[in-house]
Chain A
Amino acid sequence: MTRGTRIFLSCIYWAFVLYVFVPLILMVVMGFKDSKFIGFPIRSWTLDWYLGVFEDAEVVSVFVYSVAIAVFSTLISVIVGTWIAVLLEGRKFWGRAAVFGLTILPALVPGIISAIAFRIYARLLGIEPGMFAIIWAHAVHNVPFVALVVMARLSTLPKSQTEAARDLGADPLVAFMRITLPYLVPAIMGASIFCLLLSFDDFVRSFFLGSYEPTLPVLIFAMLRSGMSPEINAIATVALVLTAVLGVWAERYMRRMNKETGR
C-alpha cells in the first residue's frame, strides 16, 4: 500500500473522530455560556448552569427516576436473558431456531414501532403508563442483548467442567450455581452495564409508555421543544459524562475478561 493512501486514510479517520467528538464538545462548552441564548460566539463564561443542575430538585428527581428505571429493568433483562442463553447455547431441540429468532426480535423492531407495540400491549395487560410500564418495556427490549452476550461467553465454557461437577455428585442446579454462573459473571456484568445505558438513554419507549413524570431524555426533549437554553446543555452534559464513563469502563472490563480467557 502506498504512503499516499495511508496518509489519506488516516486523515479520513481523524476527520471522523472530529465529526463524532466536536458536536459533544461544543455542547459541553455551551453550558458555560453566561447568557440565556444558545449560539456562538461565547463572550462571557459562568458555572451557574452546571451548579443549577444539582440544585434543581426537579432535575435531581428525574435523574433518580431514570436511574431507578434503568436498574430495575436491567435486573429483569439480565435474569431472563441469561436463562434464555443457558437454554439456547449448546442445546439442540425442536424449535430452537424459532426460539432464537423470537429472542432477538425486540432488537430488530425499529424504535417507533416497538414503542407503539408496547403501548398497545400494555393496555391489553392492564399496565397503566408510568414507571412500571417503562421498566417492563425496557426489560423486554434489552433481553436480546443480554442473551447474545451471555451465549457468546457460554460457548467458551468447556463442557468438561460442568460434566466433572456432575460426576462429583453435584445436581444440575448446584453445577449451574457453582460452575456455570461464576464463569458467566463477566459477561453478565458487561451486559448489565449495556442494559443500564440502553435504558437510561432510551427516549422513544419512555416517551410513549411514560405518564406525566418524565425520564431524563424525555425531560430534555420536552425542554428542547420549548427552546434551547444553556440549562439543557448542563443537564445533557451531566448525562453524557455519566453514560460515557460507565460505557468506557464496561468496554475495558469486557476486553480484560476476554483476554484472561484467551479469546
Chain B
Amino acid sequence: MGSDVASVRKPGGGKGADAGATFWGRLVRWGPYSALLSLIFTSPRRQFVILAAFPILWVLTQHLGPMLQMLRVSLTDSYPVAQGTDTQFTLDNYVRFFGDRIFWMPFFRTLTFAAVFTLTTLIITYPVAYFLARHVSRKNQLLMLLLLLIPFWVGEIVRTYAIMILLGNNGAVNLALRSLGLIDRPIPFMYTSFSMGVGIVYLTALYMLLPLYSALEKLPKSYTEAAADLGAGAWTRFRRVTLPLSLEGISSGCILVFLISTGFYATPVLLGGPSTTVFAETIAGFFHVAGDEWPTGAAFATIMFVAALLLTGIFQKLMNALRKGDTR
C-alpha cells in the first residue's frame, strides 16, 4: 500500500515518470511481466476464458458435485464399495422409504412442522416489520433494526441452549408462572413440539423479518395516503394496499424460513422428544452406524431436498399468481 500513498501525493505528474515510480508502474514495464501478459491476454475472448475458467470449474465441482455425488450414491446398493465387489444400480433405497412408517412419518412431520413454524414466524414478525418500516422515523429505524440483529449473530447451538433454560421445568417461564400462583407444578414445555417450535422460530425469525422489512420499507407512504383520501379505512388500506404489495417479501421470507427449518438437526435433537423425531434425525442415523447405510441416507436426503424444492416452487408459483391477480 506504500506505493499507493506515493502515487497519490504526486497528482498531475507526467504519466511516464510517475508511473515508473510506483510498484505497479515498475511491474508494468518489467519485461517478463509484460511478456507474460501479452502471452495470456491476446484477445478479449482469451481474457474471458482465463477469468471464467476457475469460477465455473469451482461451482461445478464444489457446489454441484456434492449434490450429484449424493444422488449417485443414493442409487447404489453399497457405499463405500467393499474391495473386490461391484456396486449395482438400484432403486431399493427409495423404495425403503415408503415401506416403513418410521421413515415416512418423520418426513411428513418435518414438512408439517416446517410449514407451521414458517407461518408462525410470519405472523410474529409481520407486525414487527410493519411497525419498523411504517411507523418509525428513518433514523430510529436503523437503530431499532440493529437492536434486533444483535441476538441473531449468536450461533444456533447457543440460542437453542438459551431456549432450554427458558422453558425447562426449573426454567424462567415456569418460575414466573409459579410465583404468580397460576400453577402448582411446572408445565413440561420441554421435549415437545412446542419447545421445538419456540426454538426454531427463534432461530429463523430474522430471515423472515429482513425480507418483510425491505418490502414494506420500499412501499411509498403516498399509496396508503391516497387510499385514505379515497375513503378506505385502516383495515381496508392494509388488506387492499399494504398486504398485496408486500407479498414479494412474504414469499421470499417464507421460502427462506421453510428451507432452513427443514434442515435443522441439533435443535430438534436438543429441544424435541421421541414424539417429535424429524427427518434430519432419521437421515443422520444412517451416517452414525456402519458405512453400508450411506446409500439409504443419501436417498432420504435426496427425497427431502426434492420435496422441499418442489413445495417452495409450488408456493412461489401460487404467490406469483396471487400477486398478478391483485395488481390487475
Contacts and interface: CB of A to CB of B under 8 A. Distances in A.
B175 A12 contact: no
Contacts of B162: 23-24, 26-27, 236
Interface residues of B, number: 91
A40 B128 CA distance: 30
A168 B15 contact: yes
Contact of A13 (B28, B144, B172): B144
B130 interface: yes
Contacts of B24: 170, 174, 177-178
B156 A169 contact: no
Given A26-B166, A39-B168, A116-B298, A111 B155 contact: no
Contacts of B172: 22, 26, 40
Contact of A99 (B56, B171, B305): B56
Tell me whether chain B's interface is mostly helix, strand or loop, or mixed: helix
Nearest to A232: B161
Contacts of A183: none
B43 to A, nearest CB: 12
B301 A117 contact: yes
Contacts of A225: 269-270
B104 interface: no
Interface residues of A, number: 91
B44 to A, nearest CB: 9
A243 interface: yes
A64 interface: no
A69 B177 CA distance: 43
A228 B60 CA distance: 43
Interface of A: 1-2, 5-6, 9-10, 12-13, 16-17, 19-24, 26-27, 30, 37-41, 80, 83-84, 86-88, 93, 99, 102-103, 105-106, 108-121, 123-124, 140, 143, 168-174, 177-178, 182, 197, 200-204, 207-208, 217, 220-221, 224-225, 228, 232-233, 236, 239-240, 243-244, 246-248, 251-252, 255
